[in-house]
Structure 1
Amino acid sequence: MAAIRGQIAGRSLPPGAKLPSIRATVETMGVSKSTVVEAYDRLLAEGIISSRPGSGFYNAAPLPPLSLADMAPRLDRSIDPFWVSRQSLEAGNGMLKPGCGWLPSHWMPEEDIRRSLRSLAKMKDRTGLTDYGSPLGLTALRQYLSRRMAEQGLQAGPDQILLTESGSQAIDLVCRLLLQPGDAVLVDDPCYFNFLALLRAHQAKVVGVPYTASGPDIALFEQALSEHRPRLYITNSGLHNPTGAMLSAVTAHKVLKLAEQHDLFIIEDDIFADFETEPAPRLAALDGLDHVVRVGSFSKTLSASFRCGYIASSHGWIDKLTDHRIATGFSSSRLTEELVLNVLSSGAYRKHKEILRARLAEARAATLPRLRMLGIEPWIEPRAGMFLWCRLPDGLDAAHVARQALADGVILAPGNVFSPPQTMTGFLRFNVAQCTDDRLFRLLDKAMRQAS
């Protein structure tokens, strides 16, 4: 009964669809015929299914609201990406957040933002303060992004760039363009957990490919392409989230060759580009936006309070993506885009990036030995960025540690949040920028002892 209800809630069994026969259900579920007969009888009595003599059983329930939580296995909430996001976003000032994915607010360029806000308040063009923006987004900001991408070896004109409300919306728009319910999508194992949440909303079949220190495991990547025939692959190619690894040139070329052979499209999330101390290969630059779409935003280095992201794609896709943009958000926020452009184009932003990189390097150097004193070892030592992907001492379950830590006001990010096949039980992701409070390591030690 629970299995049938789950299929109805997840919309894999739509109204009027025929249920498996009693014999087929006996074979697939490994239960007795009498058990299946009783389950179907109870569902009939509740009006959830109907019986047609000589034909079989059918779903009689109306189409339910789409519940993302019900579409996946019922996991412990401490390893659910929605739970982690909500806890981090709703945390009070007294909470410690080493599991969140952003910088402390006092690390952001607050004075530059205030200066830009004062400048925009004096705009002579009143339409910038009151009117809808262009569906494509502010031309001057698209021109700025085009020049910035050219510095990375990616030739994308302003007419190949669409501004969005966030990086997440950028990925969502591409998924709306490419995916149908049930389509297979490749992601890294581990990967950024909101990729999993977003793909769940699109009712995609998520396939995880093990990630190595230089990119996806190529042999298993090729195997997944042959077995699942995915439509799409979503990844970070600069600084990888959550591992902090960097894609190698050799792996990048192999991924693109396989993408061409299997007609695979790739979304390259470049949100951490400004944290890099040395540039990593970019799939979009090597591919020339043939099979790759570049997305990004400014929430990690500039501000998460005003939302602005972008998509860089081939000419043939931009018009279709713009239609989806209008359908879901109507137009861009010109005021936000003017603010982002004002800050990015100032000389102060370049200095701000340099300060961030130095602070992150200092925080990383301070955090690593303190984690090691607790028996927590990094999977690799990243060269840049905010994340450390760490292995707990043998026998410790990261979800249990996270549950104990939460009771003391510490929000952790357990490994299985990032893992489609739930293979990262013994891992935690740490944000070094959020690990500067001495209380964290004392409370983490306490949580590990309680979970052991």
Structure 2
Amino acid sequence: MAGTKTERLIEALRDRIAARALGPGDRMPSIRRFAEQMKVSPSTVVEAYDRLAAEGVIRARRGAGFYVAESPPALRTLGTATTPKARAVDPFWVSRQSMDARAGSLQPGCGWLPEDWMPHEALRRGLRQLAKAETTVLTNYATARGSPALRRCLLGRFAAENLQATPDQLMLTASASQAMDLICRLLLRPGDTVLVDDPGYFNFRALLRAHQVEVLGVPYTRDGPDLVAFEAALAHAPRLYLTNSALHNPTGATLAPTVAHRVLGLAAAHDLTIVEDDTFVDLDPDPTPRLAVLDGLERVLRIGGFSKTLSASMRCGYIAGRADWIEALVDLQVATSFGGPSPVTTELLSSVLAGGGYRRYIADLHRRLNGARKTAVSRLAGLGITPWVLPRGGFYLWCRFPDGIDTGDFAQGAMQKNLMLAPGNVFSPSHSASRFMRFNVTQMQDPQIYEVMREVLG
């Protein structure tokens, strides 16, 4: 059984209570006797009892020991809850299947790096340093715009790509998703029209649904949005256009400079605001100018985060944009969250990003991604599955399946075999991608993935 001695002891006690070996109102074994029985120290038993008491599973009676609660909470439902498999295969299906995946499940459809690809040693060093940090870092709210240290780091990174931003043009958020939500709260009203790529990042659509706006998909090509369709969509007077300029999610394509300039020209002519999600910027081995750089943050808002390269547990995002928009967004974040991300999170991230070790980690990550991409393309080819475009970086492959295969049905069948996939129509507002699938090449090292897919293909 994995875990610390205390965790193993807690599990053993939960099992006894769940099996009614210890029933409601029963007295728990004495600390000393139970420690001898389990061959652990009394302090370990005390810690286990204290944790179970905090959960409401047992109760402490002064001078009389610990007793099983008369109505203990359900002991297993939190750990084993899973997304209902019968629901429609939509953006929420993919997200929840990924987040609630059972231990040992195969997840080539998820959107993050495997644990052993992340810089966990650098994070551990940062956590040890945080233990010595000033008390204010450990106990206080964040400042309204977020950690000055992390914002300085971001401004330096922007300058390296010729994005000239001032401190009043940048704020931190709890995540890139929250950054998008704040922008939608500020700039959209129910019934507004928003342009998204087709195919495009599925959580954009999930979020926009919550804001009760009309979503209009623009076909995405290997060079960016189809310009004829983009211009035609402007007749609907959209308020926003949400996109990735490079390492596009899900296709892996990169926006061509000529297309970028035309998109910005059309946006200016039609008073359209663009939200550019650049979460994957560090995974790009050869960055090209982004919309935010070409535009100078006049009508483009850049958002991003650190969960793809550093840690999904230490969530933090940012928004860069016009100073008046940032000022209004800061007020909105204060109103809805009373400030930005935790100082503990931001200090940890800034310490890791500031070190030379991060640059070496990213360089090694590019090399590993290149190898994983080549391997995945080769193995998928044996199943008749081919990439739509070969990305220059990142971890996504947008692949076409053989004729006659609906990838939504395929994903449902694979889920029954503990294989989580991301079918094409989840990314397509027009539901025109039923033969496509997004794969995460870093999550495709296990040969069993291909064996299961071969079985489902029949």
Band of TM-score, shorter chain: 0.7 to 0.9
**Structure 2 residue 199 is matched with structure 1 residue 190:** yes
- Unpaired runs of 5+ residues, structure 1, are 1-74
Post-superposition offset of 1:280: 2.1
5 Å-filtered alignment, 1:62-81, equals: 77=87, 79-81=89-91
5 Å-filtered alignment, 1:50-449, equals: 77=87, 79-123=89-133, 125-226=134-235, 228-332=236-340, 333-449=342-458
Give 3-state SS (helix, strand or coil) of 2:318's partner: strand
* Paired AA for residue 118 in structure 1: R
Indicate if the aligned counterparts of 1:252 and 1:281 stay in contact, CA closer than 8 A. Answer: no
- How many angstroms apart in 2 are the aligned matches of 1:187 and 1:428? 18
Give 3-state SS (helix, strand or coil) of 1:285's partner: helix
Deviations 1:376-407 (A, max 9, x none): 11101111110000011011000111011011
Q: CA RMSD in A?
A: 1.1
- How many angstroms apart in 2 are the aligned matches of 1:280 and 1:187? 21
Give 3-state SS (helix, strand or coil) of 1:211's partner: strand
Task: State the number of aligned residues.
Answer: 373
Post-superposition offset of 1:341: 0.2
Deviations 1:248-273 (A, max 9, x none): 11000000000000000000000000
Post-superposition offset of 1:130: 0.3
4+ runs of 1 displaced by more than 4 Å? none
- How many angstroms apart in 2 are the aligned matches of 1:76 and 1:270? 34
Indicate if the aligned counterparts of 1:166 and 1:297 stay in contact, CA closer than 8 A. Answer: yes
CA shift in 2, pair 1:250/1:76, >3 Å = farther
Post-superposition offset of 1:94: 1.3
Indicate if the aligned counterparts of 1:78 and 1:399 stay in contact, CA closer than 8 A. Answer: no
* Paired AA for residue 246 in structure 2: G
- How many angstroms apart in 1 are the aligned matches of 2:162 and 2:234? 28
Post-superposition offset of 1:439: 0.2
Give 3-state SS (helix, strand or coil) of 1:295's partner: strand
- How many angstroms apart in 1 are the aligned matches of 2:228 and 2:162? 28
Deviations 1:103-131 (A, max 9, x none): 101100000000001101101x2111101
Post-superposition offset of 1:76: 7.6
- How many angstroms apart in 2 are the aligned matches of 1:352 and 1:255? 34
- How many angstroms apart in 2 are the aligned matches of 1:216 and 1:146? 29
Post-superposition offset of 1:174: 0.6
Give 3-state SS (helix, strand or coil) of 1:169's partner: helix
Post-superposition offset of 1:77: 3.5
- How many angstroms apart in 1 are the aligned matches of 2:274 and 2:176? 15
Post-superposition offset of 1:183: 0.4
Deviations 1:70-103 (A, max 9, x none): xxxxx98352111111111111221000000101
- Unpaired runs of 5+ residues, structure 2, are 1-84
Post-superposition offset of 1:158: 1.9
Deviations 1:398-418 (A, max 9, x none): 011101101111001000000
Same amino acid, percent of matched pairs: 56
- How many angstroms apart in 2 are the aligned matches of 1:222 and 1:139? 40
Give 3-state SS (helix, strand or coil) of 1:77's partner: coil
* Paired AA for residue 245 in structure 2: S
Indicate if the aligned counterparts of 1:173 and 1:324 stay in contact, CA closer than 8 A. Answer: yes
- How many angstroms apart in 1 are the aligned matches of 2:368 and 2:167? 33
- How many angstroms apart in 1 are the aligned matches of 2:91 and 2:328? 30
CA shift in 2, pair 1:427/1:203, >3 Å = same
Post-superposition offset of 1:210: 0.3
- How many angstroms apart in 2 are the aligned matches of 1:177 and 1:280? 29
* Paired AA for residue 103 in structure 2: N
Indicate if the aligned counterparts of 1:142 and 1:161 stay in contact, CA closer than 8 A. Answer: yes
Indicate if the aligned counterparts of 1:402 and 1:411 stay in contact, CA closer than 8 A. Answer: yes
- How many angstroms apart in 2 are the aligned matches of 1:311 and 1:234? 14
- How many angstroms apart in 2 are the aligned matches of 1:201 and 1:135? 26
Deviations 1:310-334 (A, max 9, x none): 0001111111001110111111211
* TM-score (ref. length: structure 1): 0.81
Post-superposition offset of 1:281: 2.3
Indicate if the aligned counterparts of 1:190 and 1:419 stay in contact, CA closer than 8 A. Answer: yes
* Paired AA for residue 232 in structure 1: L
